[in-house]
C-alpha cells in the first residue's frame, strides 16, 4: 500500500485549485465592473460582451479546475475516470488513511472510547437486560423497554 501521493497527482491537485481560483476571480470581476460602471451606458454593448465572455470563461475554468483537482486528490481510478476497482483502492488509500486519521483524532479529543474496538486491550463486557413483557434485550442502564415502553 502506498502512503505517498505522487508528484503528478500533487501537481494536478494544485493546478486544479489554481484554475478554480482564477475562474472565480474572472466570474466575480463581472460583478465588480458592473458595480463600478453602474449607470454608465456609453459603451453598453461592449461591456455586455466583455462581461459575458469573462463570466462564461470563469465558470468553465471553475468546472474544469474542480475536475482536475478531484482527479489529483483521488487519482484517475479513485475519481471514477477509469473503471478499475483495484487501482481505485490503491489511488484512494492515502486519501482514506487521512480521513481515518482525522476521525481518530476527533474521537481522541472528544475522549470517546469505542469499547476496545480495533485495540488489542481488553474490552468491557456489554450487559443486556431482557424485558419481562416482550423479551426484548435492553441496555443495562435502561429504565424502560425500548420496544414496548414497560418498566424494566
pTM: 0.56
For residue 121, the model assigns a pLDDT of: 53
- CA–CA separation, 56 and 40 (whole Å): 23
- CA–CA separation, 16 and 13 (whole Å): 5
Is residue 115 in a domain? no
Instruction: Per residue of the chain (152 residues), give pLDDT as tens.
Output: 556 778 888 899 999 999 999 999 999 999 898 888 776 667 666 777 888 899 999 999 999 999 999 988 888 877 778 788 888 777 777 777 777 777 777 888 888 877 655 555 556 777 888 999 888 898 888 888 888 888 88
- CA–CA separation, 41 and 32 (whole Å): 16
For residue 19, the model assigns a pLDDT of: 97
CA 56 vs. chain centroid, Å, equals 26
For residue 117, the model assigns a pLDDT of: 54
Is residue 2 in a domain? no
User: Based on the domain organization, do 99 and 69 belong to the same domain?
Assistant: yes
Q: Which domain holds residue 79?
A: 7-109
Domain count, the chain: 2
User: Based on the domain organization, do 101 and 138 belong to the same domain?
Assistant: no
- CA–CA separation, 14 and 149 (whole Å): 56
Amino acid at each position: 500500500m502506498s502512503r505517498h501521493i505522487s508528484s503528478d497527482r500533487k501537481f494536478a491537485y494544485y493546478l486544479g485549485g489554481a484554475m478554480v481560483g482564477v475562474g472565480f476571480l474572472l466570474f466575480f470581476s463581472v460583478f465588480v465592473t458592473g458595480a463600478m460602471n453602474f449607470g454608465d451606458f456609453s459603451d453598453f454593448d461592449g461591456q455586455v460582451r466583455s462581461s459575458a465572455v469573462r463570466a462564461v470563461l470563469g465558470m468553465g475554468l471553475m468546472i474544469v479546475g474542480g475536475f482536475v483537482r478531484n482527479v489529483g486528490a483521488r487519482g484517475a481510478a479513485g475519481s471514477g475516470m477509469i473503471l478499475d476497482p483495484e487501482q481505485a483502492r490503491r489511488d484512494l488509500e492515502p486519501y482514506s488513511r487521512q480521513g481515518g486519521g482525522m476521525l481518530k483524532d476527533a474521537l481522541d479529543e472528544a475522549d470517546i472510547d469505542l469499547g476496545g474496538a480495533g485495540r488489542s486491550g481488553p474490552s468491557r463486557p456489554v450487559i443486556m437486560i431482557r424485558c419481562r413483557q416482550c423479551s426484548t434485550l435492553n441496555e443495562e442502564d435502561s429504565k424502560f423497554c425500548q420496544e414496548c415502553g414497560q418498566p424494566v
